Amino acid sequence: MTELLQKVRVIDPVSEIDELFDVLIADGYIREVASHISDISADTQIRDCQGLVLGPGLVDLYSHSGEPGFEERETLSSFLQAAAAGGFTRVSILPDTSPVIDNPALVAQLQKKRGGTRGQGGQGGNFSPLSSPSSLSSPLPLLHLWGAITVDIAGKQMTELADLASAGVVGFTDGKPLENLALVRRVLEYLQPLGKPVAFWPSDRQLTANGVMREGTNALRFGLPPIPTSAETTAIAAMLELVATIGTPVHIMRVSTARSVELIASAKAAGLPITASTTWMHLLLDTKAVKSYHSSLHLDPPLGNPSDMAALRTGVRAGVIDAIAIDHTPYSYEEKVQAFAEAPPGAIGLELALPLLWQYLVETEEFTALELWRALSTNPAECLGEKVSAIVPHQLAELTLFDPQQTWKVERKSLYTLSQNTPWLGQQLKGHVVQIWC
């Protein structure tokens, strides 16, 4: 199949380009990129793309799948379909499934059971919020699996890291705090020769205690148990000391405070081999939003104070925070319909992140389109030890076509994910993915 995208806005962080071009795609490859393309075959499908944005496929560093173990929340098939509808061409699931992804046999099983149909030869898939999710027929993203660091994520005994690496996991993480620093040190020593990414979520659970909201005036005002900033920053400081001693590269997950950004900036300036990510909701909302007591605003780590959100945005733009992760965390209605402090923490986001980030960061001109796209595509790929190709001829077509102006309503019939735990449920959004190639 040959497609010509006419007058599309190409956003390419690899080439640092944000310009209008014609783009010719055939047999899964980008064939030509030029200001005007007229020499095409008779069977070429021509699309007027004025007002549309074409960028490298989005890459999600970490999210949760319900399957195996909690298929009522999310199956692998629904997870991948939601990711495709959100513009993602590569996604990575955390190992905290049931059973935990801590052995090569389960890795092989999940790789075979990824579900759905993936388009051959780079075929694109179209998405419409007005159509039934069950009607989706499209290419599906490449699925990465994080391997667990500890057996059953109990935090006491390491998995067979070398065997998991050979089985094809993208890297190692438990996706939850590891507070045994002696074990963390040993993990860093063992992983050094394997050349796989390792990600940690630094958080001191003793300091977190029973808190559910970031410490500050809003926590007092809303009467919710607070979590001090030091619960995150002391754990990050300890992690940085270990990295400085051992030298194994580390990715720091779920950065949520201004002080954490300062610590990471200083560590990078000193040459430590670290990367870092925050989540999309921590860039869009702060503690003021918790006034609604919507259980989907109960996150872990919690939403920051306004100064934290501002620092995270500045950190992403400056490259101190390398990537924006989605951390898609589906829960059933029954699990979330509880009091704020009692509901399990987490929210969905694969289908919502790009439209909302574009609307509130790019259209307000706080971020450039290149800055946002870099943090959602090329940078997260690099954190995984991968590369995303430039939008140039002869490269495989791994692309996302996005309409910043298309409006749609977030409701059950417009979502491919099986869960609905989001504070934007029932709201009109502006911006929707039109097509992906992968």
Contacting residues for 420 by C-beta, under 8 A, at least 6 apart = 333, 348, 412
Which class for 130: exposed (0-12), middle (13-18), buried (19 or more C-beta within 10 A)? exposed
Helices 306-318 & 369-376, crossing angle to 10 degrees?
90
Contacting residues for 308 by C-beta, under 8 A, at least 6 apart = 214, 256, 257, 258, 282, 286
pLDDT at 154: 67
Active site residues: 327
DSSP per-residue codes, 93-153:
E-S-SSS-S-SHHHHHHHHHT--S---GGG-EEE--TTS-GGG-----PEEEEEEPSBGGG
176 touches 265 (CB < 8 A): no
DSSP label of 359: I
pLDDT at 152: 75
Query: Could you give all domains of the chain from N- to C-terminal order, each with its CATH number?
Result: 58-119+132-388 (3.20.20.140)
Successive 10-residue mean pLDDT values, the chain, 438 residues = 96 97 96 94 94 98 97 96 97 96 95 55 51 55 97 83 97 94 96 96 97 98 98 98 98 98 98 98 98 98 98 98 98 96 98 98 98 98 96 97 98 96 98 96
DSSP per-residue codes, 309-333:
HHHHHHHHHHTSS-EEE-------H
pLDDT at 135: 40
Q: How far apart are CA 409 and CA 233, in angstroms?
A: 38
Q: How far apart are CA 174 and CA 152, in angstroms?
A: 9
pLDDT at 123: 52
Its pTM stands at: 0.95
